[in-house]
Structure 1
Amino acid sequence: MGQGTYWMIRSLKHLWQMSALRQAFALTLVFLGVLLTTGLLANVSIRANLNQTIDNELLDKFDQIKTDLSRGATYQSIAGSYQSESEHFSVDEFISFKSDAGKIYGYPIPDLYGETGFINLAPYYFHEDEEDEESGEHAESETSWQAYVGRVPGGTLVVGASLRARNQLLNTLPYAFLFSGGVMMLITLGGGLWFGWRAQRRLSKITHALDQIAAGDLTTRIAPQDCKDDLDILSVKLDDTTRRLATTLQQVRDLSVNIAHDLKTPLTRLRAQLEQTQEQNLRGVSDAEGVAAALKKTDELLEVFDALLRISRIQSGERKKQFQPLKLDTLANEVAEIYQAVIEETGRSFALEIKEAATINADRVLLIQAFANLIENALRHTPQDAKVTLFVSGNTMGLRDNGPGIPEEFYPRVLEPMFRMEKSRSTPGAGLGLALVKAIADLHQAELILSAPSSGSGLSIKFVLANEQTGAN
């Protein structure tokens, strides 16, 4: 096999693998099949209609002649109105009459006068002239004439009509169908291949983008400015997925950096503590305080990893099975009952605001955990004279304080695991509180909104929960 043949076969194989082009070709074949079937049915229908029309004309002619004869008209006078009295035969029609006495008027047709009804006559019944006989114009088909035989007053009447025009039309129909069908098939195939090529070009663009994404290029974008069809919607979805994947990977990188940054120091201190305890043991001196300090540092590290595991389990979506209808005012009262005393013991004031509460589908335990984290975060970063407010309005529940707040540019970052602003690194914690809150909000398909309160200072964090059902407080 030559190189050119190999590439040609490979190119044809590649074309055949293009689903859009295959569908265009398949639809063209289906259209061709429908066209052929329609042509065959039309041919049968036209043939039947033409035969019925000829039969009706023969019957009308027969009835008219029969009526005229019953009114006293002679055969000679009737024959003269159709053709010459001498031949009583033309290239398109004929009539023939055999009287009860045996006399025949018109063109004699043996063996027909004893029949009744419609009869198909072969071409050899009539010989117009030698030129026509040599050219075979009278023999276009096996039944070139249609006749009707019946009794009339005084004898038997035969009326006939040539099938030449009918046969010519029927012989022309297949060629007309083939020509028009061929033209329509070419137009359909060309249009189908053009539309298929357009769709395939867009699919190939999506495939190329997926290859780039698989290679690690998460900046690839293919969505058009205006969505016109499902492929454009698919492109938008692909871009959204790529954007989220890039965000997730960046968060993983940041998490790795933050873990290395925040856990390296306590691990180093833990190692130093263990080395010191080991030296004390080698000298035979018990260092119970050193062991207790090491255990405390170990517990702190385990709490960090437990928090990370909790976030991971929440993000898996398994807790959705435990969702139940829950009124937000009931939840707010329960949170207030648990944490109001804790907040006020620190010197801070607490307020509960409920305007109108919705009923939502939620995991009660997780939502309480989320607001516990928010309250703990507020206690850690606000002064002792601060005010903490738990509020509910419709399907929104949140917590706000009048502390120092967070710069707006850090709102998205503080929700990432292990992210801590520099001023917060000296305070206890590992930067997982708000990340856990974000995971719980995502599980409930809630929008988590960080903003400054209307007073201008502090921080407000709102849960805008989905699946709202109106309910009065």
Structure 2
Amino acid sequence: MSALRQAFALTLVFLGVLLATGLLADVSIRANLNQTIDNELLDKFDQIKTDLSRGATYQSIAGSYQSESEHFSVDEFISFKSDTGKIYGYPIPDLYGETGFINLAPYYFHEDEEDEESGEHVESETSWRAYVGRVPGGTLVVGASLRTRNQLLNTLPYAFLFSGGVMMLITLGGGLWFGWRAQRRLSKITHALDQIAAGDLTTRIAPQDCKDDLDILSVKLDDTTQRLATTLQQVRDLSVNIAHDLKTPLTRLRAQLEQTQEQNLKGISDAEGVAAALRKTDELLEVFDALLRISRIQSGERKKQFQQLQLDTLANEVAEIYQAVIEETGRSFSLEINEATTINADRVLLIQALANLIENALRHTPQDAQVTLFVSGNTLGLRDNGPGIPVEFYPRVLEPMFRMEKSRSTPGAGLGLALVKAIADLHQAELILSAPASGSGLSIEFVFAKEQTGAN
């Protein structure tokens, strides 16, 4: 259902609710008015009964409500018939034998009212409400005109129709305007999604200011499109890098195999050539194996092997394994631990990640460099004082197969830090690259989320 049809349907629902509310209000107002009139009649009856018990005469009480004339000109009356048969006030023969509340038709009285058009006095069609009851010495009838009540009740439908009509027009107009506005924005989103589906990932639909849910949805769609574009670009870059990294060793392998074949044709055994070919084959297999490891880690299967792990214990274990290896290269090694926490993690993968970082440090730092493994709260990391990495390359070096050295002549396939990034994502840890406080070198930190940590 379009937004316009929804707005129209909601307007019809509002109209139905308004009509139902009007009917309920009419019933409630009628009941309240009738109850108010009955209460006033009862109060008047009790007041007159009290006055009579205090010595007031029927003549004085009746005279205060109406004149001796034949026609009524007031909105209330009383009538009293004594036990001896004498009547005071306006005579109503049919009522003296009744008890309780009674509705009286207009013909009970000769009441005059002024015609609004001609100005002449005409006989009124106003009905009355009366209460009949016993008082000392006779029967008392107290009555009240229903003119004001009837006028109010006759006005109510018109008031409801007018106010309801105005509200309906305002609601319909507002609903259609909002519906048209929402439909236009939804159409824009739909068109953008069609463009994205057609391959145009540069399409953006979010406004500058977020004001409602549709704006938030637009922002989310733009974020998703941006991430999709980034992912596709990474896939393209990965494909190009894989092609470059595989083409060179495959070309060398082919050349080595051709040389070995020529030697064999000459009857010369080339064991060294075969060994070189095997080494190149192993290098290719290592690349594919690293890619498969990254893929398996990104699938999340290793989360089943998570267990409680103390960061200081992990750091000590890695230091015990790699300190000697680092120092044998002439570099210095130190371990810093400050208020370590416990995390829910895969021990083997974290050791693998730290091993990759140490290998990178050994590969890219001078022999007199300082390598430091550190733990601080929920942070685990490695830093060195080597040449470091330019800040603009921080995001790129975490991508698979990315290498800053464009000639790609040095050992390695650019998968070490990509594997570290995959392990960090698996643990919902933020991987932060920065320069140490000394200003040179590189610091790589795992910052584990709170839900992954616990007090130690």
TM above 0.5, yes or no, is: yes
CA distance in 2, matches of 1:141, 1:340: 114
Displacement of 1:23 in angstroms is 4.7
Displacement of 1:279 in angstroms is 5.3
Instruction: Report the equivalent of 2:102.
Output: 119
Indicate how the Cα distance of structure 1 residues 435 and 464 shifts in structure 2: closer, same or farther if over 3 A, else same.
Answer: same
Q: Deviations 1:318-373 (Å, cap 9, x if unpaired)?
A: 32333323222111111111222222333333222223322222221111111111
Q: Deviations 1:252-294 (Å, cap 9, x if unpaired)?
A: 1111111111111211222333444455566666554444333
User: Mean Cα displacement is larger for which, 250-259 or 18-27?
Assistant: 18-27
Q: Deviations 1:410-439 (Å, cap 9, x if unpaired)?
A: 222222111122277222211111111111
Does the CA contact (< 8 Å) of 1:349 and 1:387 recur in 2? yes
Where 1:157 maps in the other structure, the secondary structure is strand
Displacement of 1:441 in angstroms is 1.7
- Over the aligned positions, Cα root-mean-square deviation in angstroms equals 3.6
Indicate how the Cα distance of structure 1 residues 177 and 253 shifts in structure 2: closer, same or farther if over 3 A, else same.
Answer: same
Displacement of 1:206 in angstroms is 2.9
Indicate how the Cα distance of structure 1 residues 43 and 423 shifts in structure 2: closer, same or farther if over 3 A, else same.
Answer: closer
Does the CA contact (< 8 Å) of 1:361 and 1:467 recur in 2? no
CA distance in 2, matches of 1:308, 1:138: 106
Q: TM-score, normalised by structure 1?
A: 0.84
User: Mean Cα displacement is larger for which, 203-212 or 357-366?
Assistant: 203-212
Q: Deviations 1:388-425 (Å, cap 9, x if unpaired)?
A: 22222222222223333333332222221111222772
Aligned partner (choices 135, 151, 164) of residue 118 of structure 2: 135
% identical equivalent positions: 95
CA distance in 1, matches of 2:30, 2:219: 56
Displacement of 1:469 in angstroms is 8.4
Does the CA contact (< 8 Å) of 1:79 and 1:85 recur in 2? no
Does the CA contact (< 8 Å) of 2:113 and 2:122 recur in 1? no
Does the CA contact (< 8 Å) of 2:388 and 2:440 recur in 1? yes
Displacement of 1:456 in angstroms is 3.9
Indicate how the Cα distance of structure 1 residues 155 and 395 shifts in structure 2: closer, same or farther if over 3 A, else same.
Answer: closer
Indicate how the Cα distance of structure 1 residues 243 and 71 shifts in structure 2: closer, same or farther if over 3 A, else same.
Answer: closer
CA distance in 2, matches of 1:45, 1:138: 34
Matches within 5 A, 1:226-241: 226-241=209-224
Does the CA contact (< 8 Å) of 1:98 and 1:105 recur in 2? yes
User: Mean Cα displacement is larger for which, 97-106 or 308-317?
Assistant: 97-106
Does the CA contact (< 8 Å) of 1:92 and 1:161 recur in 2? yes
Indicate how the Cα distance of structure 1 residues 397 and 139 shifts in structure 2: closer, same or farther if over 3 A, else same.
Answer: farther
> Which runs of 5 or more structure 2 residues have no equivalent in the other structure?
none
CA distance in 2, matches of 1:373, 1:128: 109
Indicate how the Cα distance of structure 1 residues 58 and 423 shifts in structure 2: closer, same or farther if over 3 A, else same.
Answer: closer
Displacement of 1:149 in angstroms is 1.6
Indicate how the Cα distance of structure 1 residues 136 and 363 shifts in structure 2: closer, same or farther if over 3 A, else same.
Answer: farther
Does the CA contact (< 8 Å) of 1:451 and 1:461 recur in 2? yes
Displacement of 1:134 in angstroms is 15
Does the CA contact (< 8 Å) of 2:4 and 2:183 recur in 1? yes
Indicate how the Cα distance of structure 1 residues 455 and 70 shifts in structure 2: closer, same or farther if over 3 A, else same.
Answer: closer
Matches within 5 A, 1:339-418: 339-418=322-401
Instruction: Report the equivalent of 1:306.
Output: 289
Does the CA contact (< 8 Å) of 1:405 and 1:457 recur in 2? yes
Where 1:325 maps in the other structure, the secondary structure is strand
Q: TM-score, normalised by structure 2?
A: 0.87
Does the CA contact (< 8 Å) of 2:105 and 2:126 recur in 1? yes
Q: Deviations 1:453-473 (Å, cap 9, x if unpaired)?
A: 344443322222222888899
